[in-house]
């Protein structure tokens, strides 16, 4: 299912990119980030070191993911939103990636499929 791609690659890529934004642009500590994002400090440390699966890196490099992460990190850092309220933005990005076919590319490659019409 395409949702496997979301859980395995997209969400870690987004968390990685948001954590990176919060560290680099807003000076947040690993502990602050782990608490706000609801992940372990060890996960934040892993993100900081850049030790990511190749597909996670591919997702993290997509402009859509970068833009969403920047927006979410900015709003978290400013106190405008708390992480649970960022879920809507995350879901909108997922839907956009499904409609554009970008998610399908990852899904087809991951499952070695020739075709799939779930997203479109």
Q: Which residue has the higher pLDDT, 38 or 5?
A: 38
Residue 116 counted as domain residue: no
At what angle are helices 102-111 and 87-100 packed, to 10 degrees? Answer: 80
Report the C-alpha gap between 107 and 6 in whole angstroms.
Answer: 9
- Joined together, the tokens standing for residue 75 give 């709003």
Residue 117 counted as domain residue: no
Residue 120 counted as domain residue: no
- Joined together, the tokens standing for residue 78 give 């400013």
pLDDT in tens, 37-79: 888 999 999 888 888 888 888 889 988 889 889 988 998 899 8
Residue 15 counted as domain residue: yes
Residue 84 counted as domain residue: yes
Query: What number of other Cβ atoms are within 10 A of residue 31's Cβ?
Result: 10
* Token pair 């990685």 in the structure block, residue: 16
Residue 27 counted as domain residue: yes
> In terms of pTM, does the model score above 0.85?
no
Domain that holds residue 22: 2-111
- Chain-centroid distance of CA 6 in Å reads 9
Count of domains in the chain? 1
Report the C-alpha gap between 25 and 101 in whole angstroms.
Answer: 31
Residue 58 counted as domain residue: yes
Given pLDDT bands bounded at 50, 70 and 90, which one contains residue 111?
Answer: low
CA dihedral 85, 89, 95, 101 (to 10 degrees): -150
Residue 118 counted as domain residue: no
């Amino acid at each position: 299912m395409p949702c496997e791609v979301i859980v395995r690659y997209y969400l870690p890529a987004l968390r990685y990119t948001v954590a990176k934004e919060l560290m680099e642009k807003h000076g947040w500590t690993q502990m602050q980030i782990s608490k706000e994002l609801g992940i372990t400090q060890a996960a934040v440390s892993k993100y900081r070191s850049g030790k990511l699966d190749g597909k996670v890196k591919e997702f993290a490099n997509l402009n859509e993911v970068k833009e969403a992460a920047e927006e979410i990190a900015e709003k978290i850092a400013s106190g405008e939103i708390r992480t649970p309220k960022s879920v809507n933005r995350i879901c909108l990005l997922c839907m956009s990636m499904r409609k554009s076919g970008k998610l399908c590319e990852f899904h087809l490659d991951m499952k070695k499929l020739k075709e799939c019409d779930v997203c479109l």
